[in-house]
Amino acid sequence: MARRNPTAEDLALDRLPKAPLNRESVGQALALARYVRPYRARFLAGLFTVFISAALGLAFPLLAGALIDCALHPAVATLPGFGALTLNQVALLLAVSVTLQALASYNSALAFNRVGQSALADLRRDCYSRLISLPMAFFAQRRVGELTSRVSTDVAQIEGALIDALPQLCRQSVFLLGGITMIALTSGRLTAVMLGTLPLLIAAAVFFGRRLRRFSRETQDHLAATNTIVEETLQAIASVKAFANEAFELGRYDGANRRVLAAALSAARWRAVFVAFFIVALFGGIVIVLWFGAGLLQSGSLTPGELTRFVLYTTFIAGVMGQSAELFSQIQKTVGATQRVRELLRETTEITSAAVAPPTTPALTRLRGEVSFEGVSFRYPSRPDAPVLHDITLTAKAGERIALVGPSGAGKSTLTALLLRFYEPSGGRLVIDGRDARAYPLHWFRGQLAIVPQDVLLFGGTIAENIVYGRPGADAAAIREAARQANADVFISTLPDGYETLVGDRGIQLSGGQRQRIAIARAILKDPAILILDEATSSLDSESERLVQVALERLMKGRTTFIVAHRLSTIRTADRIAVLAAGRVVELGNHAELSTQPDGLYRRLSSLQFGPSDETPPHVIA
């Protein structure tokens, strides 16, 4: 049979690290058996039919040998429990056993697939649920690809073990133990000869297996490098074409591709040598067994049917031993995958890691929007030795607009991350409506806030689905009204599919201004008490900026708003401007007050960008 080319999923599974098999690792793997528990009746039924199928498989050589003995010596074939049998009776038993084996195999395969798919659907759900419930500190220290692998590749490895490896392990155990028992009962001397040929085969399999795995890993590593080149090139295709570097990229890919070819050919040569050696060793062993068995047959110590039975059982044992290395490797990978999945499931979610609301918390309806940072200091968990905020004290009354400006790295975005409770302050506290922010249920609290970022990331569905994300379950009229207030309804209505237009991956089908207005519509639909604008117009053209600015004015009306490094036209309207530098609030006041401070940072930043003019243009302060 032709070997198929490995898929991306095959390569990902093959590259999974293996875990040593010991009491601790196996115990951790078995801990996931709780996902099978709801389906244990079907699982046990499948396990039972696996053993039935394997037992019936072991009956095949026995009946086949009896069939030959009947053909050569009519009515002399005997079977335990059946006595003397005719040729037709043995043939009928053989047909019945094959039929029952097929039915048992069908039932076991169906049972294990149903149990496996159901249990793993529960496992995937729990992994994803735990993943999206983890705090931001967790995501800051891990790569997205690693986390995606936990939900996809690792679970796929567990799926393969539960659906394929476990039944195969049970079946092979029966074949191995039953086969050795049957050949020993058939002929002890012939069994000793057969077992004498096994060490050579085992040594060869170990020797060649190690080298083949090494070359296979090298091939996969080089193939991964070529995939990286393709991914980088396609992601930056505009730059590739702008610099006319198609030939350069082709050269890079061609070099990596040649390394893949060299590694693959080396692996192919070793594989060819192994196949040739295995054929010589295997068939040589069979020749030895047949030669010795023929002598026993000639002397009358063995019947033709017994020799046939012996050869078939030997084939079963050889097949089991040939697959044992791959099965053991798969079990090691599965144990490693279960360890990584359990690590994820044991991570503390941000809901349970946050402070629990006091029992006296009154019924919650809606925040007024009073915000107070009281002596807040902060260090990122991944960089505990680098303080980001120092003793920040800042208050916003309900409905006020507070602008946060300052140089890059001053701590503006970190302050808004604390307001969203992505992180908790290292020192001080955040007070909302006179209560510690941690006293509010986290999910309810975030439902009172909305953010319009600079780089809007839309989901790959329709425009309507992206807007309704602000308030799932809202009707079409509410979605359209939110879009109208965001100055988005006009351009949406001109699209062929209107609100059902697909925005593409990350919203690539829409312009920056259109994405911003959809984000504003989403925030309007959410109707938050507290709003965060994170440089929401800094990268737009003049016309898009005007439309977005009008929409933002509608959105900010009546809400407590924090404006991060916004354009000066919006900053001028802010009730207060907090100027941050090196994680501290160094100036606080309105536009008029800060512009008149001779040595103030706010005035200096304005002068550096726009010159010492009394008429400061509507651009970004920092």
Taking Cα atoms as reference points, which of 432, 412, 418 lies closest to residue 369?
Answer: 432
pTM value surpassing 0.85: no
Residue 495, pLDDT > 70, answer yes
Identify the pLDDT of residue 318.
73
- In this predicted model, which residue has the larger pLDDT, 384 or 568? 384
**Which residue has better confidence, 256 or 541?**
256
d(CA 525, CA 468): 7
Give the pLDDT band of residue 540 (cuts 50, 70, 90).
low
pLDDT band at 364 (very low <50, low <70, confident <90, very high): low
Inform me whether the pLDDT recorded for 395 exceeds 90.
yes
Q: How confident is the model at residue 374 (pLDDT cuts 50, 70, 90)?
A: very high
**What does the DSSP 8-state code read for residue 36?**
T
- DSSP string over 69-90: HHHHSTT-EEETTTEEE-HHHH
The whole-angstrom separation of Cα 610 and Cα 618 is 10
pLDDT tens sequence across 197-230: 667 666 776 676 677 667 777 776 777 778 778 8
Which pLDDT does position 373 carry in this prediction?
93
The CA distance from 236 to 242, in Å, is 10
> Which DSSP helix (H) or strand (E) runs through 313?
helix 304-346
Q: How confident is the prediction for the chain on average, in pLDDT? A: 79
> Which residues partner with 430 through β-bridges?
373
Average pLDDT over residues 151-161: 76
- Give the residues across from 577 on adjacent strands: 403, 589
State yes or no: pLDDT of 14 exceeds 60. no
Q: Which tens digit of pLDDT belongs to each residue from 19-45? A: 455 566 566 667 777 888 888 899 899
Q: How confident is the model at residue 541 (pLDDT cuts 50, 70, 90)?
A: low
Distance (Å, rounded) from C-alpha 67 to C-alpha 61?
Answer: 10
**Contact by Cβ (8 Å): 78, 112:** no
Instruction: For residue 61, give the nearest of 321, 295, 314 by alpha carbon.
Output: 314
More confident residue, 333 or 130: 130
Distance between CA 96 and CA 221 in Å, rounded? 50
528 pLDDT more than 60 = yes
pLDDT of residue 80: 64
Helices (H), 187-245: 188-196, 198-235, 237-242
pLDDT level of residue 4 (50, 70, 90 thresholds)? very low
pLDDT at 363 over 70: no
pLDDT of the residue at 396: 92
pLDDT attached to residue 149: 67
Q: What is the pLDDT of residues 72-131, one digit of tens each?
A: 776 556 666 566 677 788 788 888 988 998 999 899 889 888 888 888 888 888 888 888
In the predicted model, what is the mean pLDDT of residues 139-148? 72
Helix (H, G, I), strand (E, B) or coil at 612: coil
C-beta of residue 23 within 8 angstroms of C-beta of residue 95: no
pLDDT at 536: 65
- pLDDT bin (cut points 50, 70, 90) of residue 307 is confident
Q: Which of 99, 151, 94, 101 is nearest to 121 (CA)?
A: 151
Q: Could you give the CA distance from residue 167 to residue 35 in angstroms, rounded to a whole number?
A: 17
The CA-atom distances, in angstroms, between 139 and each of 12, 96, 249 are 22, 59, 33
Cα dihedral sign for 219, 221, 223, 225? negative
Please report the pLDDT score of residue 543 as a whole number: 65
